Amino acid sequence: MQEEIKIGEVTLNFRHYSGVDLYSDGAIENDLLEIVKKHKKEEYQQIIEERANWPILYHLSDQRANIVEWIPMDPKAKVLEVGAGCGAITGMLSSKAGQVVACDLSRRRSEINATRNQECSNVTIHVGNFRDIEPDLDNDFDYIFLIGVFEYGQGYIGTDNPYEKFLRMLSRHLKKGGRIVIAIENRLGLKYFAGCAEDHLGSYFTGIEGYSPDSVAKTFTRNGLINIFKKCGMNDYHFYYPYPDYKLMTLLHSDSYLPKFGELQDNVRNYDRDRLVLFNEKHAYEDLIKDGMYQDFANSFLVILGPGFDTIYSKYSNDRVDEFKIRTDIAIDRAGRKIIKKYPLTEAAKEHVYGMRDAYLGLVEKFRGGDLEINDCQLDEKSGCAIFSFVNGVPLSSLLDECIDKDDIEGFNALINEYYRRIRYKEDYPVSDYDLIFSNIMVNGPIWTIIDYEWTYGKCIPAKEQMWRALYCYRLEDRKREKFDPKLLFNRLGLTEKEIRILLEEEYAFQKYVTGNRKSMVEIWKEIGRKVIVPKEVASGTTTAARPADVIQIYLDEGEGYSEDESIYPEEQYDEKNTVSLDIRVDSDCKVARIDPAFAPCIVTIVEATWNGISISDGGADVNINPVNGQWISDDSFVFNSDDPGIEFKLTSNKLSIQERNHLCVTLLTTLIPKNAADAVVNSIPELENIFEPKENIIKKIGKKIISKREERYYKDDEE
């Protein structure tokens, strides 16, 4: 075997290769090698979407490199990457550093790495066990990266205390002032408590309960890592917290800037395997954040051993087309103040970032003399970023959430009315912020400041349309917010159902404009096809196990009937008043959506039902509603005397406006009743039918009827 070969500009060194790949993902690596041979990096995203396969997503997604992209690095820096794998990180390091030395156990993975990064003339890859390679490595590296590697220290190093020995071994190769960068899962990450399998072993609660001595990998708690560092005499360490985790990071917090209440929205987990859902992680994180315990339960850690960085927070918006890919940092300046920086992640995105200064000047002029401040913006052409002041206060969205949590409808409406009053100032001025949503307004007493205005245009957008979008985005981010019904407000604004339909279409078009039609991570997760499993089913080891009676199940029929494997158990649960609001995302191919409101006899009232924001009513959204295993008992209610109740929403009408992605929003009031009581109600249905209108009329009128009842309740409350 040749000791060295070249693939493109990349050097592969086989001096320490045993001839056997000791680590492999199996046959998928052959597919990966074929992909990187035949396709450019720009084509990887399309392949990820088409294949819907976790290893392909994991190895080829450009979001993998987010974990290191934010790190400031001298262009002449010398970097060592241990466990480089298929090169998801190597290419990014090559673009930031002067020289990259990579090591990996696998010849096949190293060939994939070299092939995908073959234009990188500053990369050398050593194939073999790190323990054998290490004596030949230089001792002057500025950075040593272990991304998803430190947990395998026992396999790399062996012997007693392998993790401490691993770090001491690495530290010998650092120049003075150099840094070791470690990305690793948290053994007590909240996702593992909530029902995700352990990443390396695929079993539930393994890390929480403790690893066996012969585990192939071992992760640590925050304190567990600190103890290892201190044993090695490494007392200069800095913890960062990637979210959702370090593999596909979109947010990075630090001890100097921890998450705020309501900030953590993305709860898609375990692309690689099915999962349990034991509780709502978002809500659990909110309480942990309140109590100052986020650091101990973050899903992943990124640790800098050595001098720290000025950056204390990063947010990635690189699931977009190249023209709009940016990174937002919060950093500490020389005076010790927080500042915000927005960087373009591509050459094409520079114009978008530089345009923020023009947006600032336009909005300042529009709101001059009004009651909205605009966060100042300056351009730093040397570093190629836009710089903003850090604004203290509370996001308007968080203030609205507090009102919802307290059932303070009066306070909620007061904030909404104040928002509308302020944004209406000089409404006809030809500059508008399309993204004037509640989370982009910081409230500090009487001072309201727009803090993010990257989607500002030189045209008029009516205030009522901005209000519609603010409420649409607000409710979409967290389903508990659906307790607020915006329809009465829309009526007062004079928004017709036709106008709302047009606004929805514009919103879908805007999202496609920003993303370039690339699929979201949620869409990819769905296509990979991982299941979420009801806990009691798992406990019994059978799909027919007893479930809690008030569990909700959703089926979507795309023409091939219902599938248990593809059914959905939504995170939403009934509240103390036995109501639940569901926002069901429906593709254009769906023929029927079925909601099973419980697994017991019950009486169910449809409090509200809309299709893409339009009431299910005559002349609006023409959706046919049918009970399964039940009977209508009023114009909006059913009784079910079966353990398998269901409500079908048939979506096949020619009159129905169907988009590529649709929202079927349904609010249910469900009362569980004994079987004999349900039977008695069902037996009385013939008598009841005489006093109600024909069922087909009821179906058409249900949306209109529900709105009428809600209006009556609202005006009654208003008078009181």
User: What digits encode the pLDDT tens for the residues 135-193?
Assistant: 999 999 999 999 999 999 887 777 788 999 999 999 999 999 999 999 999 999 999 99
Average the pLDDT over 570-588 and give the result: 86
Q: What is the pLDDT of residues 266-276, one digit of tens each?
A: 666 678 888 88
Q: Find, among 615, 624, 593, the residue nearest to 697 by Cα.
A: 624
Which is more confidently placed, 582 or 624? Answer: 582
Highest mean pLDDT out of 111-125, 507-521, 600-614:
111-125
Q: What is the pLDDT of residues 466-489, one digit of tens each?
A: 999 999 888 877 767 777 778 888
pLDDT at 616: 81
Average the pLDDT over 672-689 and give the result: 72
Q: Is the pLDDT of residue 691 over 60?
A: no
pLDDT at 703: 33
pLDDT at 267: 67
- CATH class of residue range 19-125: alpha beta
Q: Is the pLDDT of residue 311 over 60?
A: yes
Average the pLDDT over 77-102 and give the result: 97
Which is more confidently placed, 273 or 99? Answer: 99
Highest mean pLDDT out of 101-110, 277-286, 515-524, 675-684:
101-110
Query: Which 3 state secondary structure label does DSSP give 657?
Result: coil
Q: How far is CA 705 from CA 239, 577, 631, 657, 693, in A?
A: 55, 21, 19, 21, 13
pLDDT at 272: 86
pLDDT at 690: 39
E strand or H helix that includes residue 702: helix 695-719
pLDDT at 560: 75
Average the pLDDT over 504-514 and give the result: 88
Confidence tier at 702 by pLDDT (50, 70, 90): very low
Q: Is the pLDDT of residue 530 over 60?
A: yes
Confidence tier at 686 by pLDDT (50, 70, 90): low
Q: How far is CA 270 from CA 50, 333, 522, 525, in A?
A: 19, 38, 12, 9
Torsion of CA 13, 302, 386, 445, to 10 degrees: 170
pLDDT at 292: 94
Q: How far apart are CA 58 and CA 147, in angstroms?
A: 13
Q: Is the pLDDT of residue 692 over 50?
A: no
Which is more confidently placed, 649 or 339? Answer: 339
Residue matched to tokens 């850090």: 390
pLDDT above 70 coverage of the chain, percent? 91
Q: How far is CA 308 from CA 225, 229, 304, 472, in A?
A: 17, 15, 7, 40
> Nearest 5°: phi and psi at 122?
-100, 15
End-to-end Cα spacing for the chain? 87
Average the pLDDT over 673-692 and give the result: 66
Confidence tier at 707 by pLDDT (50, 70, 90): very low
Confidence tier at 438 by pLDDT (50, 70, 90): very high
pLDDT at 337: 95
Which tokens in the block code for residue 681?
Answer: 């109600």
Average pLDDT across the chain, whole number: 87
Q: Is the pLDDT of residue 694 over 60?
A: no
Q: Is the pLDDT of residue 563 over 80?
A: no
Q: Is the pLDDT of residue 99 over 50?
A: yes
Q: Is the pLDDT of residue 286 over 70?
A: yes
Q: What is the CA radius of gyration of the chain?
A: 28
pLDDT at 693: 38
pLDDT at 451: 96
Which is more confidently placed, 642 or 430? Answer: 430
Q: Find, among 641, 626, 548, 637, the residue nearest to 594 by Cα.
A: 626
pLDDT at 340: 97
Average the pLDDT over 273-284 and give the result: 84
> Using the 8-state DSSP alphabet, how is residue 233 labeled?
T
Cis amide prior to 601 (ω within 30 degrees): no
